[in-house]
Chain A
Amino acid sequence: MSDQVRIEIDGQVFEAPRGSMVMQIADQHGIYIPRFCYHDKLSIAANCRMCLVEVEKAPKPLPACATPVSDGMKVYTKSPRALAAQKATMEFLLINHPLDCPVCDQGGECELQDLALGYGRSHSRYEQRKRVVADEDIGPLVSTDMTRCIYCSRCVRFTAEVAGEPELGIVGRGEHSAVRTALESALTSEVSANVIDLCPVGALNSKPFRFRARSWDMLALPGLALHDGVGSHLHAHTLRGQVMRVVPRENEEINEIWLADRDRFSYLGLERGRQLVPLVREEGELRPAGWDEALDRAAALLAETVRAGGPESVAVLASPSSSLEEGALLSRLADRLGVPGLDHRLWRDSGQVSTFPEPSLGQSVAAFAEPQTFLMVGCYLRHEAPVLNLRVRRSVLGGGCVHALNPCAWPWNYPVRSNPALGLEGLRSALAALLVTAQKLKDGPVPEGVEIEARGSPLDGEMLERMARDLGEGPATILVGETALSHPASETIGTLARLLAEATGARLAVVAPGANARGLHRLGVLPGGDGLRPFTPWAAPVRAHLLFGVQPEYDLLHPGRALAALARGQSVHVTTHLGPQSARHATVVLPLAAGFETPGGWMNLEGRVQDAHASVPPPGEARPGWKILRDLGRLLGGDEASFPDDFAALLELRSPLPPPRSGLPSTPLSTGSVSASRPEGFVLLRTRAPHACDPLLRHAPALQETAIGRRGATIGLNPEDARRLGVSAPHPRIEIRDDGGRRTVVAEVTVDPAVPRGHLHLPVGSPALLEVGTLDGQVVHVHAVADKIEVAAP
């Protein structure tokens, strides 16, 4: 039996693979069959019946989306019988659907409205009362008008199949059916808002966008998502110079048709808390200034600090989402000043030389969907790169598998083979133990120092063996993520991961935060231009800082050190949003254009350079980063060649990008003993809060109100620790004291079984946790703040 069959659709003959559906073949050849429930990214439900077509010899019309092709089949999509069936379906659908498109937010982009135009009657024969369905609040991102629902179940299938977080269902039966969450709760997934695009009618819409504009009034401008290194494509829908909403732009190779919630709603931060004018400090106070004055002050400050204190006295720190042009200008600016202290890796904990290879995926984004073994090392991909994680989910469903080595047992949206909560120290020793196991399995030599590192590993031999075998068999990828990159022993972890990749033949992926970590690495926005130089931005001899796109109080994992340094010295803040502590310490503030407001190129983690135009002008007097850096460069004596006047010239300067560097030295592993003793008190585990990890996100209120946002504003505490401490609902709070007992802060707690005992999970980035973030040291002491009970920590 051949794998191809010949079918005829509307008189045209096509070859089609056996097993495919009539709808798919028709789509491939541009024959349109109306549909609601069918969606090529979802399973086939065949429950709307809009796609009924006539098939020769079949007694009744058949649904094209669920009718497999067969040899010699003749299909008529527009015959009188087919049309009659489609029109009848439409009439049934409209029986209960409100006919009030003018007041519906979906009007103008509604699949039901469009098809009703083609298949509906001009007036209804149904005169009885329509049914009404009560709305449910499913969170701050998605609005509900459930009376408009046509039960296509696309949203239900999306949450179960794509998002891997089955949260929506059709509850009830017959007339009483309604799309609902299980407990009338808000959606929790990091990609939940994609149901807005999938819903063919106005039942699920964007809540922040609700009633703000009409689809036909807006311009759809292509842009890029700048909150992780995936480089998802999007459209900014703008009206009179304002971004009204963001929707995905289809790109099969990157984000397909999906967007992470944070990429979709970060635009809300464009209008809130923006720095609109330049400021300079005079007699202790910040006051508004003109651009010329502020730029002069900034340039003079930097030049004078270098003159007086030498090149080591200035540090330049840039957001990892800065564009390639901004990166190129930043490194020229540092060159101009002769300053070696330049970095974009805000997550770094130590001033040690880094031997991490350039961030990359080791393969294309699309290849992540192929069946393979993934080992997540200090990586919670779900929050770090949500859309990439959807590919991993597909890989797992297709036969791949995932092991995770993380400090916390984060909940995944697919089955994982192992997911121990290792704590901070355990991550390092477990990885070393895995390397030992992998080498032993293949009788390879165990590199020096690894056995010592592996001491105290909390994992049992069986689990390690399983991991090592899965990694060794067939294709595999080891992902080194944010928690590994920001780990106090990140260099050791990086070396171990590299050795493990060599030992098992797995690919290494370094998933660094930010939209352009790979590009900035390539351009040399690194200490000394190559990163092979120790650099501690917050310690002497640094006396002045140039911060580009950074809110130091939130964007750094250890803001305490940074704020102390800023208080001691002088600083230039080129920023979209000025944080409260920065306002206290800044010497000069230059208002920066945000993403959506600036043209530029960004290199995603797979190494693809993508350009975007500005979609809207920056507000107030804010200027695009490249102009600010160009002007600063020229004021510092730079020439036209390095700091060109127009953007086109800059593009030429940026390309071609230098080739990736190779032959990095590796960090020696410890030869002494690693202390295995547990410190007294709680270990602070810092990770970036996924909905508050850059200035724009932080200022998007809807994102802060999601489950992820709220969790990111509270401390995570293991349930047993919570019980032992007497932390009690409904608003559990704890008092945290640093090791020296100098400072005490109070914070709200989420009891989270993912957090290991003896640890406090501190999401960094939310203003609510600023105080806790500034605590110094890794170990803290904790008390419950209850109405009466107060239980002391050991």
Chain B
Amino acid sequence: MNQSALPERGLSEEVRRTLERSRAHYPEGEAGRRSLLLEALRLVQEERGWLDAEALEAVAAYLELPLVDVTQVASFYSMYELHPVGRHSISVCTNLSCHLCGGEELLAALEQRLGIRCGETTADGRFTLKKEEECLAACCAAPVLMIDHQYHERVRVEDVDRILESYP
């Protein structure tokens, strides 16, 4: 029941424009709107940094989908952030190949260097260490870490400082 007025803050003009263009690539009707959901969430996240309840509601309202469906999708994919994150997001792969090549040590070094645990954000809001990253699909270059969608391959513990410096 819509007992209270919906929040009037919605999606930004820009996100709307992009989504309007994308709509053409999807089927008409609900199926199409459902398919557009992943993209909509990604765009909003890029704009706002993370997806709060208000953002989810805005996406649900725009795509005319039940809020709970949007929540289910957003909480399923680890790429969507449902809690505040730092400016840069670091993912350290600890799946099989990386594990064998020192991924765990790399993660431990990063945790120590940043003073945070997996899933946490540094006090200055600069870095977030992503929780539980699985195979980043670059096994041939293990161990791998990814910062803001940029891959760093065959990373050694001694490289960590240098890499971090390039993300102010």
| Residues of A bordering B, CB below 8 Å | 160, 165-173, 180-183, 188, 411, 707-708, 711, 719, 750-754
Contacts and interface: CB of A to CB of B under 8 A. Distances in A.
A138 to B, nearest CB: 12
| 3 nearest A-B pairs in the assembled complex, by CB-CB distance | A166-B66, A169-B68, A182-B68
Contact of A750 (B3, B6, B56, B66): B3
Contact of A171 (B4, B53, B75): B75
Interface in B1-31: 1-6
Given A166-B66, A171-B72, A719-B5, 20 more contacts: A166-B68, A166-B69, A168-B68, A169-B69, A169-B72, A173-B75, A173-B77, A173-B78, A180-B68, A181-B68, A182-B71, A183-B67, A411-B1, A707-B1, A707-B3, A711-B1, A711-B3, A751-B3, A752-B3, A753-B6
Contacts of B56: 182
Contacts of B72: 169-171
Interface residues of B, number: 19
Interface string B49-86: 00001001000000000111111100111100000000
B17 to A, nearest CB: 27
Contacts of A708: 1
Contact of A169 (B2, B6, B71, B77): B71
B68 to A, nearest CB: 4
A753 B2 contact: yes
Interface of B: 1-6, 53, 56, 66-72, 75-78
Contacts of B66: 160, 166-167, 182
B159 to A, nearest CB: 31
A172 B67 CA distance: 15
A172 B76 contact: yes
23 contacts: A160-B66, A166-B66, A167-B66, A169-B69, A169-B72, A170-B72, A171-B75, A173-B77, A180-B68, A182-B56, A182-B66, A182-B67, A182-B70, A182-B71, A188-B1, A707-B1, A707-B3, A711-B3, A719-B5, A751-B4, A752-B2, A752-B4, A754-B2
A166 B71 CA distance: 12
Nearest to A754: B2
A393 to B, nearest CB: 15
Contact of B5 (A180, A411, A751): A751
B28 to A, nearest CB: 15
Contacts of B71: 169, 171, 180, 182
Given A171-B71, A171-B75, A183 B3 contact: no
Nearest to B77: A173
Contacts of A750: 3-4
A331 to B, nearest CB: 40
A753 B6 CA distance: 9
A719 B68 CA distance: 25
Nearest to B4: A751
Nearest to A181: B68
A259 B77 CA distance: 36
Contacts of B3: 707, 711, 750-752
Counting chain A CB atoms within 10 Å of each CB, which of B2, B69, B72, B77 scores highest? B72
Given A166-B68, A169-B72, A173-B76, A183 B53 contact: yes
A167 B1 contact: no
A173 B72 CA distance: 9
Nearest to A166: B66
Nearest to B6: A753
A711 B78 CA distance: 38
Contacts of B4: 750-752
Contacts of B6: 753
Nearest to A160: B66
A171 B71 CA distance: 7
A384 B165 CA distance: 66
Contact of A172 (B1, B69, B75): B75
